[in-house]
């Protein structure tokens, strides 16, 4: 039987929790106060997707490995969907105006449009719009 799960919680180490929460608030994401405190903030991506922003000292409690410095190396790229090309641009522009940096230039493949940014800790975020009806025709 295949593993099935109905929610995902991504855990990200952050250097300054308050700064990261402010950044993502300005980008447009909300937070669940029930699962947030001085060590962690639960960012809500959707009804089933959450990003736990964890202060680095707290994050270190969950691993025996060295915590990567996202400003110097990449371990993963977090990709989220958007409802339109305009929505992709809006999210990335908000990230840039809130202290984020460009990761890659926008890429328009006709049926798919993507643009990526780095958050204040250097984590990579890709925002994607896909016209699924056009993708299935091509």
Q: What is the CATH number of domain 8-137?
A: 3.10.180.10
Residue ranges per structural domain of the chain: 8-137
pLDDT of residue 137: 61
Residue 1 has pLDDT above 80, yes or no: no
Instruction: Look up the pTM and report it.
Output: 0.89
pLDDT of residue 133: 79
Give the model confidence (pLDDT) of 66-110 as tens digits.
Answer: 999 999 999 899 999 999 999 999 999 999 999 999 999 999 999
CA 63, CA 58: separation in Å to the nearest integer? 10
User: Residue 135: pLDDT band by 50, 70, 90 thresholds?
Assistant: low
Q: What is the mean pLDDT of residues 27-44?
A: 97
Other Cβ atoms closer than 10 A to 122: 17
pLDDT of residue 21: 98
Cβ atoms of 34 and 26 within 8 Å: the answer is no
DSSP bridge partners of 10: 51
């Amino acid at each position: 039987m295949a593993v099935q799960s109905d929610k995902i919680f991504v855990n990200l180490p952050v250097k300054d929790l308050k700064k990261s929460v402010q950044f993502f608030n300005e980008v447009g994401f909300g937070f669940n106060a029930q699962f947030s405190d001085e060590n962690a903030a639960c960012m809500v991506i959707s009804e089933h997707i959450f990003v736990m922003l964890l202060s680095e000292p707290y994050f270190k409690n969950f691993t025996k490995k060295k915590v990567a410095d996202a400003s110097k190396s990449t371990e993963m790229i977090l990709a989220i969907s958007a409802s339109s090309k305009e929505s992709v641009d809006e999210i990335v522009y908000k990230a840039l105006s809130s202290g984020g940096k460009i990761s890659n230039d926008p890429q328009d493949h006709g049926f798919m449009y993507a643009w990526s940014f780095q958050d204040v800790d250097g984590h990579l975020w890709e925002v994607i719009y896909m016209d699924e009806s056009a993708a299935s025709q091509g």
